[in-house]
Amino acid sequence: MGTISEEILGRAAGKKACAGEFVIARVDYAMSHDGTSVLAVKALKEMGVDKVWDPSRIIIPLDHLVPANNETTALLHKELREWAFSHGIVHFYDVGEGICHQVMAEKGFAMPGKVVVGADSHSCTYGAFGAFGTGVGATDMAEIYASGKLWFRVPETIKVTIDGGLPKGVTAKDVALHVIKHVKADGAAYKALEFYGSTISEMSMAGRMTLCNMAIEMGAKAGIVPPDARTEAYLEGRAVEPYAPVYANDASYCDEYHFDSRISPLVACPFEVDNVHDVEEVEGRHIDQVLIGSCTNGRFEDLREAARILDGRKVKCRTLVIPASRGVMLEAISSGVAATLLKAGATICNPGCGPCLGGHMGVLAQGEACMSTTNRNFRGRMGKGAEVYLGSPLTAAATAIEGKIADPRRYL
Ligand SMILES: CC(C)[C@H](C(=O)O)[C@@H](O)C(=O)O
Ligand code: SF4
């Protein structure tokens, strides 16, 4: 009897798990990328361990600085490739496969009822599939590499219910920003979120990923959507092993929120993710660069939405489109979406994190502003002295056309 997190962690720990208790749980899949694997490998060495627990359950995608931007990164990638090869890591994804969280979903590692841990804060994305997905630091990842287990404090859970259809120009990203506006950036610290309601059941898997991806922006340990027929359809022929869905069962929640989906397109203004405004309040602000991509909004559905607005039009400011994976890029090409975006004047970069964390490929200059479909807008995130506005792919596309923040509803 418990929340989804209590039920999943209880099963993985082999004993009843109640919020607030500490458990040692078995981890089903562990992910670390080029930004964190090296530290995890170093910690593993310091622990005096050389053999990993199960090379088929460790997934390593190179995504944060790809292709390598300098000799230091190139060497880091090289060392990681060699380590992965010598330890028999089965699921090593080199430059170009995509952003870790998208790769984890596409390759079928994020499944209902599983404990899927990543050395990256946005590993809460896997909650879209009904998994307990959470991010850990590199030393905790080293412990998983060594033993396949990790300690957890079982989180309390906030129940979030969102009902209603999405109005014109409103997407899963706007729903996520709406929730963040009310729950606040620290409102779910160390808690889990469970999402219910007709808006969620009608939401595509891509949309659910966008929503769960941003759970960490409220401090949440996990953000979980109970699995349903859509989840099953996505995982059909994709899940790497059988899974048993887990649902909340007579659970008690520490807090509950009810939202109505009848909202405006929203924008999170610099420099806090919960500094959220209706697009009409911030329309007209100058923008130097638009970024459509990331683990939040770099999926095919997002690119297609942007193309709906950009079709037959021209961008007025530099516009970067970064598909979240090779699969997304292929679909964008075969569907004609990529051509539409290119004809509108956008630049399409290779799959990866791009400038999302200010490291690579599209970093901003001091004094510049970016309208971005990513998840973080704190000071310096995409370049020192630059500003980041967060919005949906529709809002980003409308903004690209005007070179200033624009309401997407005027273009639909
Ligand atoms: C580099 C990595 C550790 C980091 C994270 O954990 O979130 C990054 O992905 C980010 O989005 O800032
Ligand atoms: S796309 Fe951005 S938020 Fe997502 S994993 Fe990469 S750097 Fe982190």
- Are both 128 and 271 inside the same structural domain? no
Q: Which alpha helices (DSSP H) does 259-323 contain, by range?
A: 279-282, 294-297, 300-310
Name the residue with the closest Cα to ligand 2, atom 4.
Answer: 295
Of the pLDDT bands very low, low, confident and very high (cuts 50, 70, 90), residue 91 is very high
Inform me whether the pLDDT recorded for 25 exceeds 90. yes
- The encoded tokens of residue 135 equal 């991010």
CA distance 160 to 183: 10
Averaged pLDDT for residues 368-376:
98
Q: Are 90 and 59 contacting, i.e. CB atoms less than 8 angstroms apart?
A: no
Verify that 170 and 64 share a domain, yes or no: yes
Residue-wise pLDDT tens digits, 111-135: 999 999 999 999 999 999 999 999 9
Domain finish residue from 230, 258, 286: 258
Residue 223 is inside which H or E element, if any?
Answer: strand 222-224
- One domain for residues 244 and 345: no
Tell whether 253 and 398 lie within a shared domain: no
Q: Are the C-beta atoms of residues 79 and 44 closer than 8 Å to each other? A: no
pLDDT tens, residue by residue, 43-73: 999 999 999 999 999 999 999 999 999 999 9
Task: Say yes or no: ipTM exceeds 0.95.
Answer: yes
Question: Are 278 and 249 part of one and the same domain?
Answer: no
Task: Using the mean position of ligand 1's atoms as its centre, give its distance from the Cα of residue 151 in Å.
Answer: 21
Last residue of a domain, one of 258, 282, 298: 258
Say yes or no: 43 and 166 in one domain. yes
Cα 276 to Cα 220, 250, 268, 328: the distances in Å are 18, 34, 4, 29
Q: Which of 258, 274, 298 is the last residue of a domain?
A: 258
Output the DSSP codes for 44-67: HHHTT--S-S-TTSEEEE--TT-S
Q: Tell me, yes or no, whether 251 and 308 share the same domain.
A: no
Rounded-to-10 torsion of CA 291, 295, 300, 303 = -10
- What are the start-end ranges of the E strands in 126-218? 132-135, 149-153, 157-163, 192-196
Q: Which residue's alpha carbon is nearest to atom 3 within ligand 1?
A: 120
> Which CATH number goes with the domain that contains 105?
3.30.499.10
Kindly report, residue by residue over 214-224, the tens digit of the pLDDT: 999 999 999 99
* Distance of alpha carbon 409 from alpha carbon 261, whole angstroms: 16
Which pLDDT does position 39 carry in this prediction?
Answer: 96
- Nearest residue CA, atom 11 of ligand 1? 357
Rounded (5°) CA angle 188-192-195:
100
Percentage, residues of the chain above pLDDT 70: 100
Distance (Å, rounded) from C-alpha 347 to C-alpha 336? 15
- Kindly report the pTM of this predicted structure: 0.98
For 175, the domain range is 4-258
For residues 317 and 386, membership in a common domain is answered with yes
User: Do 15 and 159 belong together in one domain?
Assistant: yes
Question: Rounded to whole angstroms, how far apart are CA atoms 54 and 288?
Answer: 47
Distance CA 390, CA 314 (A): 21
Q: Average pLDDT, stretch 243-249?
A: 97
Asked whether 324 and 295 are in contact (CB, 8 A), the reply is yes
32/138 same-domain check: yes
Q: Residues 14, 141: one domain?
A: yes
CA distance 246 to 377: 34
Q: For the residues 373-395, what does the mean pLDDT come to?
A: 98
pLDDT for 99 equals: 98
Stretch 135-145: mean pLDDT, rounded?
A: 98
CA of 318 to the centre of ligand 2 (A): 21
Tell whether 14 and 145 lie within a shared domain. yes
Can you give the pLDDT at residue 1?
Answer: 81
* pLDDT bracket for residue 182 (50, 70, 90): very high
The number of folded domains in the chain is 2
Q: Cα of 282 to ligand 1 centre, how many Å?
A: 28
